[in-house]
Amino acid sequence: MMKARLWLVGAATAVGLSSTAAVASVVVVRSLGPSSKAYPPGKTLTESAKITLQGGDVVTVLGPNSAQTLRGPGNFNTSTVSLASAASKRGRFGALRAGEIAKNPSVWDIDATQTGKVCITDVSKLQLWRPDSTAEATINIRTADGAVQPVTWVAGNSSVAWPSALRPTNGGDYQIEWQDTGEKSNVTIIQVPASGDDLVGAAQVLIENGCENQLDVLVDSASKMGK
């Protein structure tokens, strides 16, 4: 059996918080249906707030220690999804087996197979992740000005450090090309401040900066903590 790995512990620790996030109990992270305008992603709610959903509504909210999906019609109290019980406080993201996570198990690593904006907090600790670690693989990272830096994973490793010779820049665009298949992805790096320890604030930072792939990792992992 694969041993538990704390890939997600402290993900929210590396995020700057707005004053709204600091006092909010719950943040909306996904919203579909007739009431989506009333509960857009990024909307924060206090613990005493009520959520009223119509038929066809599907709203995912994230609290201090886990996430929950609400389906309408119905009325919901955010206190039931703030999930602040002592048991859930064993870690902001808890210990999850890597095999239980379909996506990149670290919120702040770059998934080398995904395209989109990527929020990073600490350049010196930035990692590149791949979903299949069975064989050795090499990618070429190309900058907007044409500079190219190869990076290789050895067989059995899913993560490798971002190359020190290619310091990522805030707002910089990078193309990732897999040498064996020629497949390409494009990422834009967004530097975010490293302070605070609130899961709700972490979600807000990802939403505000358009880092959707990382938000999916955060929500999916937090959802497991509520089960």
Nearest to 25 by CA among 77, 72, 69: 77
72 and 56 Cβ atoms separated by less than 8 Å: yes
* Confidence at residue 29, expressed as pLDDT on a 0 to 100 scale: 92
Q: How many domains in the chain?
A: 1
pLDDT for the residue 103: 59
Does 52 map to a domain? Answer: no
Q: How confident is the model at residue 87 (pLDDT cuts 50, 70, 90)?
A: very low
| Residue pLDDT, tens place only, 96-118 | 333 343 456 678 899 999 999 99
pLDDT of residue 175: 97
Instruction: Note the pLDDT of residue 48.
Output: 81
Nearest-angstrom CA–CA distance, 76 and 211: 28
CATH number of the domain bearing residue 186: 2.60.40
- Residue 75's pLDDT is 92
pLDDT tens readout for residues 5-34: 333 334 443 443 333 333 457 899 999 999
Q: Quick check: is 71 in a domain?
A: no
Distance CA 52, CA 83 (A): 19
Distance CA 143, CA 130 (A): 20
User: Domain for residue 56, yes or no?
Assistant: no
| pLDDT tens sequence across 126-135 | 999 999 999 9
Going by pLDDT thresholds of 50, 70 and 90, the confidence category of residue 194 is: low
Q: Enter the tokens of residue 109.
A: 């690593």
Using a cut of 0.85, tell me whether the model's pTM lies above it: no
Residue 120 forms part of a structural domain: yes
Q: Which residues span the domain enclosing 115?
A: 108-191
Flag whether 152 is in a domain. Answer: yes
Q: Are 169 and 189 in contact (CB under 8 A)?
A: yes
- Tell whether 182 is covered by a domain: yes
Look at residue 186 and tell me if it is in a domain.
Answer: yes
User: Tokens 């009223």 correspond to what residue?
Assistant: 52
Q: What's the pLDDT score for residue 158? A: 94
Q: Is the distance from CB of 149 to CB of 139 less than 8 angstroms?
A: no
CA 192 to chain centre: 13
| Residue 63 pLDDT grade (very low, low, confident, very high; cuts 50, 70, 90) | confident
Domain assignment present for residue 96? The answer is no
